[in-house]
Structure 1
Amino acid sequence: MQYRQDPKSGNNLSALGFGCMRLPSSTLGRIDLEASEALVLQAVEQGINYFDTAYLYRGNEEALGIIVERNDLRNRIFIATKLPHSRCETLEDIERFFAEQKARLRTDYFDYYLIHNVTNLTQWDKLVALGIEEWIDRKKRAGEIRQIGFSYHGSQSDFPHLIDAYAWDFCQIQYNYVNVNYQAGRAGLELAASRGLPVIIMEPLLGGKLADGLPPKAVEAFKRCDPTTAPAAWGLRWIWNHPQATVVLSGMGTLEQLTENVACAEHALPNALSDNELACIDDVVDIFDESNKVNCTGCNYCMPCPRGINIPGCFSAYNASFTHGRYEGLKQYVMCTGAGSNDPRWASDCVDCGACVKNCPQHIAIPDELKAVRKRLQPALFPHIIRLGSKLMG
C-alpha cells in the first residue's frame, strides 16, 4: 500500500480509502454485517487505514462501529463521518447528531469530521449563524474532532468561496476522468492543494460506471492500450496520477473488488501515467460522453421516492439502452420497476413532486429525466403488456 501525507496533521493516509456507503447489504438495504466485517478486516490487513461513512448512510455507522469495536481496530484506522447539516435548524440539532454518531461508531472522537454535501456558501453561512464555528472550536479543544472538513457537490465557481470561508483542515470532492470540469473539478483540486489541504476524492469510478459500465468501444480502447489493466484500475490510476489527491475512496462491496483495488494501489504513484496512456483515457472519455445520458452515480440520495419509483434503477437502464442497446435497457427497466410484481412502479408514476431533486448531489433534473426514460423504455401499453404476460406465466 502506498501512503500520502496529510499536510495539515502529518497523518500518513492510505492512498486507497474504504468508502463504506456501499457495504454489502440485502435487497432490502439491510447491511450484511458478517460480509462487511470480512471486507473491513481484509482491508485493514492490506494496509487501508482511512474509512469513510456518514450519518445518512443507512445502518452504516452502526455496522462500522460494531466491526471496529469487536476487532479492536480503533487505534489502527482513521474514521471519517459526516454531519447531516440539512437537518440542523439549531445548534442543539448539531450536538444531538454528533452525540448519536459517537454512539453509533462507538468512539469518543472522529479523526476526520465533515459537513456533508455542501453545495454553496449560503449553507455554510446558515451554520455559522447557528454558532457552528464556536462549536467546532470546542470539539477540537476537547479532542472529539481531530480534523474538520466538508464534502462538496456544488458549482466550480462557488468552491473557492467556501474554501476561504473557514480554516478547514481538509475537503472531499468528486473527481474522475469524465468529471474534470464538473463540480469542484480539477480547478478545485488544485486550489485546495495550493491552500495546503489534503483532498479526499469520492466517486473515482462514478458509482461503478467507469469499472463495469463502460461502453464496449471504451473497453476495447483500453485493451488496445494495455490488455492487462482492468477499466477500474485505469480510473483509479488516473486519479493517483495527480499529486494533489491524498486519498481515493472506493466503495468496495466484494473481496474481489478489494483485492483488485489494493493491487492497483500498490503502484499509486503521482505522475506515473505515460503520454500514451493519458491519450487513451481521453479517447475513452469521448466514447463515454457519447453514450452516457444521465450522470447518475447510484448514490440513492434521491431515495426513497414517495411514489416508490426506483430512480437510480431507471437511469441505469436508460443509460444501458444507449451503451449496450435498447434490448438490454428494456430488460433492466423491467427488472428495476418490479414489473413482475403485484405493484410495479414505472417512470410514468412520477408526479413531479420534486422531493428527489433537492437531495441529488449531481443536481439532476430527475422528473424531466424520468420523462425521457418513459419515452425511450416505456412505449404505449407497455405496462399493460407486461402485466398480461406475467398473469399468463403465473
Structure 2
Amino acid sequence: MQYRKNKKNGDEISALGFGAMRLPTKNGRIDKEKAKEQIYYAIDQGVNFIDTAYPYHGGASESFLGEILQNEYREKVKLCTKMPSWSIKKYEDMEKFLETQLDKLQTDYIDYYLIHSLGKGSFQRLKDLGVLEFLEKAKQDGKINNIGFSFHDNGDAFKDIVDAYPWDACLIQYNYLDEKTQAGTEGVKYAHSQGISVFIMEPLKGGILADVPEEAQKIWDNAPVQRSPADWALRWVLNHPEVTCVISGMGELDQVKENIQVAEETLPGSLSEDELKLYDEVKQVYHELMKINCTSCGYCMPCPRGVDIPTCFEIYNHKYMFKTRGTSFTYLTRLGGVFSGNESHAGLCNGCGKCVRACPQKLEIPTLLNDVSKELGGVGFSYRVKIGKAILVPLFDAFISISSRFSRRSGNNSVRKE
C-alpha cells in the first residue's frame, strides 16, 4: 500500500481510505458479515483509514465499526467520524454527541474528528456556540487526536474556514467532474499550502463515474492502457500530490481489491499528458448529457412526503446519460409503488424545502423533482399506477409461480441423474 504523510503530526495514511457510508446491506440493514469481510480484507492489505459519521446507515455505521474494530484491528487504523453540525443547538450538545460516538465506536479516542458538512453559515453559528474551544478541550482530554471538517459550500467559504483555525485535516468532495465545484482544485491546493491534510470524498461522484455513458466508454476503450472507468476516476484524484487520502465507499469485495490495486500503483504526477487529455474528452460527454448534479449521498433523506429523491434523479439522469429506453416504465414500477405498494415518486413533493437545506450540492430539489415528475410521470400517472398494480402484479406473481415449479422439476431431474 502507498502511504502519504500528514505533515502536522507525521501520520502515515494509506492513499485509500474505507468509507462506511455505503456499506453492503441486506433487508435494508448493514450486511455485517459481508461488510466485516471487506473491511478486514482492506486493513489486512494496508488500508489504515476508516471514515464514518453519526448519521451513516441510519446511525448504525458507527456501532457496527465499534463491534468489529477491536484489539489489533483498532490499533491498525486511524478512525474518523464527524460531529453532526446540524443537530448542535448548544455547547452541551457537542459533549453529548462526542460521548455517544465514543460509546458507539467502543473506543477511548477518535483519531480524526471532523465537523460534519461545514459551510459559511453553519461555521459561524457553531463558532458562536464555542465549537473550536470544545474541540481544543476534547483534544487536550485525549478524546480526539486531530481536528478537522468536512465541507459543502463554495470556494470563498472554504478559504475563510481554512484561515479561521489551524486545522489538522479537511474532507472535500473532489473528482474529475468537480474541479470547479465547491472547494475544487483551488481549494485542494490552498488547504495543502496551509499544511492541512486533504482527504477526498465522492471520487466516483456517487458511482456516476463508474457506470459511464456509451460515449464516455468509447473514449476509455480507445486509451492505450485498458482500465475500468472506476480505475480511471480514482487514479485521477490520486494523481494530485496535494491529496493525502481518497475515501471510497465500497460495497463489494471486488471493488475493494480493485481500489487497493489502484492506490498501490498511482503515485502523484504519474498520469501522462495524453492520459489527462482523455479525462477532458470524457468530461465533455458528461457535461453534455447529465441533467442533475446529484451524487446520491442521501443527505436529503428521509423526505417527509416519502419521495425517494436520489432514485428519482438517478432514473432521470440515466434517461439522458445512457439513452435508456423504458425509463418511464422503470419510474412507474420502482417509484410508483406498483410492486412494493409504497409510492415514492417525485409527484409527492409539496415543496417544503427540507431537502434543499440538507443538500451538499445546493440543488433546488423541489424544482428538479417537478421536472422529473412532468417528464417521467406526466398526466395520468396515478391512473397508470393503478393499472400497473391491477395488471403487472398478477402477471408477475404468475411468472414467479411458473418459474418456481419449473425450478423444482429441474432440481428433481438433476438429482435423479446424479
TM-score bracket, shorter-length normalisation: over 0.9
1:132 & 1:342 partners in 2: Cα distance? 45
1:270 & 1:349 partners in 2: Cα distance? 47
What is the match of residue 373 of structure 1?
Answer: 372
Which ranges of structure 2 fall in alignment gaps of 5 or more residues? Answer: 395-418
Task: Please report how far the alpha carbon of residue 158 of structure 1 lies from its aligned counterpart in structure 2 after TM superposition.
Answer: 1.1
Task: Please report how far the alpha carbon of residue 243 of structure 1 lies from its aligned counterpart in structure 2 after TM superposition.
Answer: 0.1
What is the match of residue 79 of structure 1?
Answer: 79
What's the CA shift string for 1:18-64, capped at 9, x where partnerless? 01100111342x11111111111001011100000001112100011
What's the CA shift string for 1:195-218, capped at 9, x where partnerless? 011100000000010011x21100
Q: Percent identity?
A: 43
What's the CA shift string for 1:210-250, capped at 9, x where partnerless? 011x2110011011014620000100111111000000010
Give the 4+ runs in structure 1 shifted more than 6 A.
none
Task: Please report how far the alpha carbon of residue 280 of structure 1 lies from its aligned counterpart in structure 2 after TM superposition.
Answer: 0.4
Aligned partner (choices 265, 275, 278) of residue 277 of structure 1: 275
**Distance verdict in 2 for CA 1:222–1:328, change over 3 Å:** farther
1:28-177 alignment runs, 5 A limit: 28=28, 30-57=29-56, 58=58, 59-69=60-70, 72-120=72-120, 122-177=121-176
SS in 2 for 1:21: coil
Task: Please report how far the alpha carbon of residue 133 of structure 1 lies from its aligned counterpart in structure 2 after TM superposition.
Answer: 2.1
Whether the 8 Å CA contact 2:332–2:377 is kept in 1: the answer is: no
Between Structure 1 and Structure 2, the one with more helix by share is 2
**Distance verdict in 2 for CA 1:374–1:103, change over 3 Å:** same
Q: Which amino acid aligns with 1:61?
A: E
Q: CA RMSD of the aligned region, Å?
A: 1.3
Task: Please report how far the alpha carbon of residue 79 of structure 1 lies from its aligned counterpart in structure 2 after TM superposition.
Answer: 0.2
What is the match of residue 185 of structure 2?
Answer: 186
Task: Please report how far the alpha carbon of residue 342 of structure 1 lies from its aligned counterpart in structure 2 after TM superposition.
Answer: 3.0
Task: Please report how far the alpha carbon of residue 296 of structure 1 lies from its aligned counterpart in structure 2 after TM superposition.
Answer: 0.9
Task: Please report how far the alpha carbon of residue 331 of structure 1 lies from its aligned counterpart in structure 2 after TM superposition.
Answer: 4.2
SS in 1 for 2:147: strand
SS in 2 for 1:66: helix
Q: Decide which moves more: 181-190 or 338-347.
A: 338-347
1:326 & 1:351 partners in 2: Cα distance? 28
2:167 & 2:264 partners in 1: Cα distance? 29
What is the match of residue 242 of structure 2?
Answer: 244
What is the match of residue 405 of structure 2?
Answer: none
Bigger radius of gyration: 2
Q: Which amino acid aligns with 1:210?
A: L
Whether the 8 Å CA contact 1:310–1:336 is kept in 2: the answer is: no
Aligned partner (choices 216, 222, 225) of residue 223 of structure 2: 225
Q: TM-score, normalized by length of structure 2?
A: 0.91
1:290 aligns with 2:291: no
Q: TM-score, normalized by length of structure 1?
A: 0.96
Q: Which amino acid aligns with 2:357?
A: K
Task: Please report how far the alpha carbon of residue 127 of structure 1 lies from its aligned counterpart in structure 2 after TM superposition.
Answer: 1.8
Whether the 8 Å CA contact 1:81–1:110 is kept in 2: the answer is: yes
Q: Which amino acid aligns with 1:81?
A: T
